[in-house]
Amino acid sequence: MKITEREQDGIIIYAVEGRVDSEGAVDLDLALQSATAEGKHKMVLEMAEVRYINSAGLRTLADILTQNQKAGGDLKLVNLHPKVQRVFQIIGFDRFFNIYPTVEEAIAAF
pLDDT in tens, 13-29: 999 999 999 999 999 99
Q: What is the pTM of this model?
A: 0.93
Burial class of residue 22 (count of CB atoms within 10 Å of its CB; 0-12, 13-18, 19+): exposed
Interval 50-77: pLDDT, tens? 999 999 999 999 999 999 999 999 999 9
Average pLDDT over residues 23-44: 95
Strand partners, 53: 20
How far is Cα 4 from Cα 25, in angstroms, rounded to an integer? 15
Bridge partner list, 15: 4, 46
d(C-alpha 56, C-alpha 20), whole Å = 8
pLDDT average, residue stretch 2-22: 95
C-alpha triplet 19, 23, 27: angle, nearest 5°: 90
Ordered structural domains, the chain, with CATH: 2-108 (3.30.750.24)
Q: Using one digit for the tens of pLDDT, what is the confidence trace for 77-95?
A: 999 999 999 999 999 999 9
What is the distance between the alpha carbons of residues 43 and 32, in angstroms, rounded to a whole number?
8
Residue type present at position 13: I
Integer Cα distance of 37 and 8 in angstroms: 18
pLDDT at 44: 98
The pLDDT, as a whole number, for residue 57 is 95
